[in-house]
Structure 1
Amino acid sequence: MSMPASTRPATVRNVLFIMADQLRWDYLSCAGHPTLRTPNLDALAQRGVRFDRAFVQGPVCGASRMSTYTGRYVTSHGSAWNFVPLSVGQKTLGEHLRPHGLRCAVVGKTHVEPDLDGARRLGLDPSTGAGRLAMEGGFEPWERDDGIWPPGFKVEGNRYCDWLRGLGYTGDNPWHDHANSALGPQGELLSGWEMRHARRPARVAEPHSETAYTTQRAIDFIDEQGDRPWLLHLSYIKPHWPYVAPAPYHAMYGPQDILPAVRSEAERRDPHPVMRGFQQTPPSLSFARDEVRETVIPTYMGLVRQLDDQLGRLFDHLRASGRERDTLVVFTSDHGDYLGDHWLGEKELFHDTIVRVPLIVVDPRPQADAARGRTVDALVESIDLLPTFLDALGLPPAPQWLEGRSLQPWLAGETPADWRDAVFSENTYAFRDPVRLPLGRAVEDCQMTMLRTERWKYVHVDGLRPQLFDLAADPQELDDRGADPALAGVREALAARLVEWLRRRRRMPTIHPDDIAAWNRRELDAGIRIGEW
């Protein structure tokens, strides 16, 4: 139970920013999943506001996270896919907060790719001080771990792997060989990269798994801060593949607990050319099989349940330490997981399965009491989080940089009259040769941009026909109307709106709009008289 309003401080001093990796919006019991139980996240939603229609700005880890960390659309920050460096010219979350005395650190994954060329050009040392922070996306890497170490790779200098070795887990790569693999009947190693082994338990005890370790390190960070204000980005790797869960979570759910795949034969018979390419990739071919879904999805659900249990441990610690009283808590994901919906695996396209994510925000202050337990169905975006952090902490906004809007009115129970009526997301398939090469597309001609309103979802695809879904008649997005002559006018109007959105990006981030508005007056006050007779 939360404390009475009269005993809670009127200020937010800290931010606990929690992100799961590849967690679908609909895989929480508070979002309506009929068999998966997430009691701690459900309780978090009751203490705050659950945003039921939150959308990421990129349907892959890197682009999505860089938008969240910068508060800017993908077009504006330029880190358009995984492993595309985030320019040192972008201002990130840590750089907005650190000058105001907040320690800004990460425990877990960020997917930030360092801009080493930019560092060299500016004379920055990427290994220390301001240079290192710039290479880490503005986060102090208190315990950064992006995971995903391939089989046979020798892992050195990774704290989690070193910790496992200290517990007696042997080998060059204990992340793979123990935390993300199982044992066969003859004692053989069964790699978690092969989804056929998903029903077997990981070789680590549950307290030694990635999710449990990451939770403990977050608790350690919070305890270390004392009264110093902080933002902690707690970024879990799971339920992202490899789909391997420790006992008992590996066997907590079965095929009877999974939801039917959302897909139609028409989607496979006559798909959009880009969608056809993705349907032929190995993850999609695998998840098109019922055997694969019935093997993998119960483990995915177990990983979500373990995450929820570990978050319960963290929330208990926040409460016991008193930090619940002055900490804004945010829980979200970077994108979803197809799991066979639309005959697809992985992510990268724009169905709600991927671009719609869970978002729960808890403001501890009494002024937020009126909205506790509320579910908001307004269209919100991940770029709204950074403005929300600044607003909650009482810090000045940065409208020249930030393209999202603070969620604070919703947290206070208000309904803004001028809230957005559309959300946007972007991706490129330039990095996917099995998709790009059969279409004969150059790398620079593979951009896709989604515009989603209440009624319509429109996807512009460079050089190819668009996709269009009527969400009122087809909420599961099974009928692509992108070539329907009867909707040509709708497509034309949405394309025009997309151009207008592109035109309005923040193009002058280094100068505040107020300074621009005052520029002419400053010239006159300085005695500059241009063109006078």
Structure 2
Amino acid sequence: MTHVKNILFIMADQLRWDYLGCYGHPHLDTPNIDRLAAKGVRFDRAYVQSPVCGPSRASCYTGRTVFSHGATWNRVPLPIGELTLGDYLRPQGVRTAVVGKTHMMPDTEGMARLGLSRDTEIGIKISQPGFDPYERDDGLHPTQLLRNKGGTLSYNDWLREQGYEGENPWNDYANAAQGPGGELLSGWHLKNSNLPARVKEEHSETAYMTMRAKEFIEEAGDTPWLCHLSFIKPHWPYMAPAPYHNMYGSETFLPVMRSDEERTDPNPVYGAFMGMEVSETFSMAGARETVLPAYMGLIKQIDDHLGRLFDWLEESGKDKETMIVFTSDHGDYMGDHWMGEKELFHECSVRVPLIVVDPRVQADATRGTSTEALVEAIDLVPTFLEVTGAPSAEHRLEGRSLMALLHGETPKGWRDAVFSEIDYGFYAARETLDVAPSDARGYMIRTDKWKYVHFKGFPPQLFDLQNDAEEFHDFGRDPDYDLVRRDMESKLLDRLINRKNRVTMTDEVVRGAGLSGKSSGVLIGVWGE
């Protein structure tokens, strides 16, 4: 089987799995992402390793669970010894670059310990992490934070070239509206979300990142490449440029998914998250209705720009040698379950879209199909290694290649449960619960029927997904479900203890080492000749 030459790895930030046409949204028109699904395989049950930007992405890039790689939250660095996509693919001659967001923090302490500077070639790769930073931009640039980082931003420089003035056009144009008196209306305030951004559509973040991805592909030429086109939207600030800001009205909104039962004696951790400001805001009458036009418009804008990129790939013939992957790092509660943001383990938060197009003839039989196989974000790295011919690194990687599923085969011993976890030590919910940062942990295991969530020091949650797809009824403290909880806890324990930590030596080397040292003259327990 021939290997795939290039990979276009597209990730939208904070995109729910159910907000695409091909995943069943009745009003959100996404013909270009849908056309990907028609050319490849749509995974209907794909889950992230953590419903938070940083740790989720770290798992996507390393192929390892959050506990294993250690970057448990957005500001927690990925340890310097962890290998990422660039480390695996660069030896194969694949240029591996990011255009957009990674939300990864460099391990500056580890780099300093080894005398590595971020200004050197190796220091750049380690701090990025593993990517060539062609256009690294995490999309979070309020003016004070930008000043703290030194005040430079490539996107801002480009905006000034287009005629946008000021210290921070990202904040004042791309993510702000204008009031009737000319006043600046910040996109950080949710009440302004349904207003048009001051920036022209063709100069918005989505347009800019798509342009830069195309430029990278052009510059790569005949060199094999992986381009991680990582869109900053539809993540907050929820602000879309015209005409995308008001394409969708109330008749197009999915009904909010929440029940009064959920607020009656909730699980303590869930209750603490419902009590945070963002959740109370999204539970207010009219809040999600103000935000949804922008959220949906930003998704539609991504789809439109991807359509132009896909057209160009087809016109240039590059689509025939390029695997295309489309996914998200997590979802968005958007008022469901009385919550805002993400973080916990309801389907709208932890489940994501995943579409994979393999251009090779071996995938022809599965084009336009879908699968309900339980897959995880950590399956992407081993998939990328297999399609490019890179060594498998099974002793380190905790995911499994999706190649068999893409080619219509039934993988032997495929998983019957998916796993995710959260470090909520950085949230107000932890202070509400009065727990130590190291104890603020939650773990999810989800099978066909059940979803079990273990919170350290608190009762678990348990949902019957076959009879309660909305996840309204929590059986985590119901004595009638004690046996189910024990079984699910056992499955969770199995997953926890099977994570991989012997990362510096393969199983083949272990087998070759033998069970004794007799060949080297080291004798243990030998009585005599």
The structural deviation recorded for 1:269 is 2.2
Amino acid at match of 2:270: M
The structural deviation recorded for 1:523 is 4.3
2:494 to 497, 500, 518: 500
* More divergent stretch after superposition (415-424 vs 175-184): 415-424
- Asked whether the 8 Å contact 2:330–2:350 carries over to 1, the reply is yes
Amino acid at match of 1:145: D
Report SS of the residue matched to 2:514: helix
2:402 to 395, 402, 407: 407
The structural deviation recorded for 1:525 is 4.9
1:261 aligns with 2:256: yes
Q: Which residue of 1 aligns with 2:55?
A: 63
1:484 aligns with 2:470: no
The structural deviation recorded for 1:154 is 5.1
* More divergent stretch after superposition (111-120 vs 434-443): 434-443
**How many percent identity over aligned positions?**
56
Amino acid at match of 1:371: T
The structural deviation recorded for 1:290 is 3.1
Q: Which residue of 2 aligns with 1:519?
A: 513
Instruction: Rate the CA distance shift 1:394–1:152 in 2: closer, same or farther, 3 A.
Output: closer
- Equivalent positions of 1:149-188 (< 5 A) are 149-151=141-143, 156-188=151-183
1:328 to 323, 327, 336: 323
- Asked whether the 8 Å contact 1:257–1:298 carries over to 2, the reply is no
2 CA distance for matches of 1:524 and 1:105?
Answer: 48
1 CA distance for matches of 2:115 and 2:166?
Answer: 39
2:448 to 454, 476, 482: 454
1 CA distance for matches of 2:497 and 2:263?
Answer: 36
The structural deviation recorded for 1:131 is 1.8
* More divergent stretch after superposition (51-60 vs 315-324): 315-324
* More divergent stretch after superposition (168-177 vs 123-132): 123-132
- Asked whether the 8 Å contact 1:153–1:173 carries over to 2, the reply is no
Report SS of the residue matched to 1:358: strand
Cα deviation digits, residues 55-113 of structure 1 (max 9, x gap): 00001001100011100001100111111010001111110111111111100000110
1:135 aligns with 2:127: yes
Amino acid at match of 1:92: T
Q: Which residue of 2 aligns with 1:466?
A: 460
2 CA distance for matches of 1:93 and 1:62?
Answer: 16
The structural deviation recorded for 1:528 is 4.8
Unaligned stretches of 5+ in structure 1? 1-8
* More divergent stretch after superposition (477-486 vs 126-135): 126-135
Amino acid at match of 2:36: L
The structural deviation recorded for 1:526 is 4.7
1:436 aligns with 2:435: no
Amino acid at match of 1:307: I
Amino acid at match of 2:430: R
Amino acid at match of 1:119: M
* More divergent stretch after superposition (435-444 vs 135-144): 435-444
Amino acid at match of 1:185: P
Amino acid at match of 2:240: A
1:240 to 235, 240, 254: 235
- Equivalent positions of 1:153-302 (< 5 A) are 156-302=151-297
Q: Which residue of 2 aligns with 1:311?
A: 306
Q: Which residue of 2 aligns with 1:11?
A: 3
2:33 to 12, 17, 41: 41
- Equivalent positions of 1:93-112 (< 5 A) are 93-112=85-104
Instruction: Rate the CA distance shift 1:515–1:284 in 2: closer, same or farther, 3 A.
Output: same
The structural deviation recorded for 1:521 is 6.9
Q: Which residue of 2 aligns with 1:393?
A: 388
Cα deviation digits, residues 456-483 of structure 1 (max 9, x gap): 1001100000011011111111111100
Amino acid at match of 1:186: G
1:119 to 111, 114, 123: 111
2 CA distance for matches of 1:138 and 1:524?
Answer: 41
1 CA distance for matches of 2:143 and 2:177?
Answer: 13
2 CA distance for matches of 1:175 and 1:271?
Answer: 40
1 CA distance for matches of 2:264 and 2:286?
Answer: 22
2 CA distance for matches of 1:322 and 1:88?
Answer: 38
2 CA distance for matches of 1:523 and 1:387?
Answer: 34
1 CA distance for matches of 2:144 and 2:167?
Answer: 8
Cα deviation digits, residues 110-135 of structure 1 (max 9, x gap): 01101000111122222211122111
2 CA distance for matches of 1:500 and 1:419?
Answer: 15
2:334 to 334, 339, 354: 339
- Asked whether the 8 Å contact 2:146–2:152 carries over to 1, the reply is no
Amino acid at match of 2:133: P
1 CA distance for matches of 2:516 and 2:181?
Answer: 80
Q: Which residue of 1 aligns with 2:503?
A: 509
Report SS of the residue matched to 2:451: strand
- Asked whether the 8 Å contact 1:152–1:173 carries over to 2, the reply is no
1:420 to 415, 429, 437: 415
Aligned residues: 524
2 CA distance for matches of 1:108 and 1:407?
Answer: 25
- Asked whether the 8 Å contact 1:337–1:354 carries over to 2, the reply is yes
1:374 aligns with 2:366: no
1:87 aligns with 2:82: no
Report SS of the residue matched to 1:468: strand
1 CA distance for matches of 2:474 and 2:310?
Answer: 43
Unaligned stretches of 5+ in structure 2? none
The structural deviation recorded for 1:529 is 4.4
Instruction: Rate the CA distance shift 1:108–1:119 in 2: closer, same or farther, 3 A.
Output: same
Amino acid at match of 2:448: E
The structural deviation recorded for 1:289 is 2.1
2:44 to 15, 39, 52: 52
2 CA distance for matches of 1:521 and 1:80?
Answer: 37
- Asked whether the 8 Å contact 1:428–1:447 carries over to 2, the reply is yes
The structural deviation recorded for 1:16 is 0.7
Q: Which residue of 1 aligns with 2:139?
A: 147
Amino acid at match of 1:96: Y
